[in-house]
């Protein structure tokens, strides 16, 4: 099967550190937020691990950001310049995931070096990486030291507002951590996209 190189090394390193970190953040976040519901470690350990991994993830985010800012690869995230075509492609992709795949229809998206994501994927990843992830980091840092950042917290409407935003995005990521690997398992084999994120090479069907 022919293969193309779609995931450069910095993206792969960023991705797997990020994935591991997010799973840890979700588990420790659950323990901190819903005291008594799950008991994986002591409350204090959960807080310390949550804070440290949080800062590791922020640093790691810059690996992703700087790689895409300083290479020409950012185009993989761009939506189609023609909004009608972008809309049509997204609907076709949703139809495929919701219905066509169960009927054995072929995937309407064909991977290439500059179009490794389908119409839905590119947009979703962009919203996650440029909006939700930075917002989660920002609210997390504010909550990490509410006294030091009290001025900014007050400006945003108080600690309850900041905390609510942090928890709502957390709930989104809990859902994402299940949906994203499920969708990633829908390649020409179950493990095809996972292997690609490890080796860098995507096999062409
Ligand atoms: C259990 C955790 C995870 C697994 C198993 C996983 C798996 C994968 C796989 C197989 C791919 C390549 C296929 C594709 O392009 O969809 C991928 C890409 C991607 N994942 Fe994940 N992922 C995980 C967690 C996360 C998290 C927590 C985030 C963000 C917060 C994330 C963001 C992304 C992004 C942005 C890409 C595209 C990267 C690029 O090529 O620029 N993933 N993931």
> Which pLDDT score, from 0 to 100, does residue 59 have?
98
CA distance 153 to 139: 9
Report how far ligand 1's centroid is from the alpha carbon of 177 (Å): 9
Instruction: Report, as ranges of residue numbers, the positions in the chain whose pLDDT lies below 70.
Output: none
Q: Residue 179: exposed, middle, or buried by beta-carbon count in 10 A (0-12, 13-18, 19+)? A: exposed
CA distance 180 to 63: 21
CA distance 112 to 36: 48
Ligand 1 near 46 CB (within 6 A) = no
> Which pLDDT score, from 0 to 100, does residue 36 have?
85
According to CATH, the topology of domain 3-203 is: Fumarate Reductase Cytochrome B subunit (1.20.950)
Asked whether the CA dihedral 113, 110, 198, 29 is positive or negative, the reply is: positive
> Which pLDDT score, from 0 to 100, does residue 74 have?
86
Ligand 1 pocket check: which of 133, 182, 184 to mutate, most ligand atoms within 8 Å of Cβ? 184
- Indicate which atom in ligand 1 lies nearest the CA of residue 64: 41
Please report, for the chain, the start and end positions of each structural domain, with discontinuous segments joined by +: 3-203
Q: Please give the model's pTM, rounded to 2 decimal places.
A: 0.94
> Which pLDDT score, from 0 to 100, does residue 140 have?
98
Question: Which tokens hold the place of 134?
Answer: 């930075």
For the stretch 180-199, what's the b/e string if a residue is b when 16 or more beta carbons lie within 10 angstroms of its beta carbon? beeebeebeeeebbeebbee
CA distance 127 to 133: 9
Cα–Cα distances in angstroms (integers) from residue 117 to residues 36, 47, 143, 187, in the given order: 41, 36, 34, 12
> Which pLDDT score, from 0 to 100, does residue 88 have?
96
Contact of 185 with 193, CB cutoff 8 Å: yes
- Residue 61 CA, chain-centre distance (Å), reads 11
> Which pLDDT score, from 0 to 100, does residue 112 have?
87
């Amino acid at each position: 099967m022919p293969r193309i190189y779609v995931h450069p090394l910095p993206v792969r390193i960023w991705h797997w550190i990020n994935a591991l970190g997010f799973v840890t953040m979700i588990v420790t976040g659950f323990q901190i937020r819903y005291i008594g519901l799950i008991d994986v470690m002591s409350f204090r350990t959960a807080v310390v691990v949550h804070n440290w991994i949080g800062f590791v993830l922020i640093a790691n985010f810059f690996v992703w950001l700087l790689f895409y800012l300083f290479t020409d690869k950012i185009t993989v995230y761009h939506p189609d310049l023609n909004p009608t075509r972008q809309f049509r492609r997204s609907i076709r992709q949703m139809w495929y995931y919701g219905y066509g795949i169960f009927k054995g229809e072929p995937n309407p998206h064909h991977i290439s070096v500059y179009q490794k994501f389908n119409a839905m994927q590119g947009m979703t990843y962009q919203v996650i990486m440029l909006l939700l992830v930075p917002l989660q980091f920002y609210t997390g840092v504010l909550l990490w030291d509410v006294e030091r950042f009290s001025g900014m917290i007050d400006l945003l409407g108080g600690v309850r507002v900041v905390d609510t935003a942090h928890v709502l995005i957390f709930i989104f990521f809990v859902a994402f951590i299940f949906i994203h690997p499920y969708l990633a398992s829908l390649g020409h084999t179950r493990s095809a996209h996972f292997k690609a994120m490890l080796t860098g090479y995507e096999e062409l069907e």
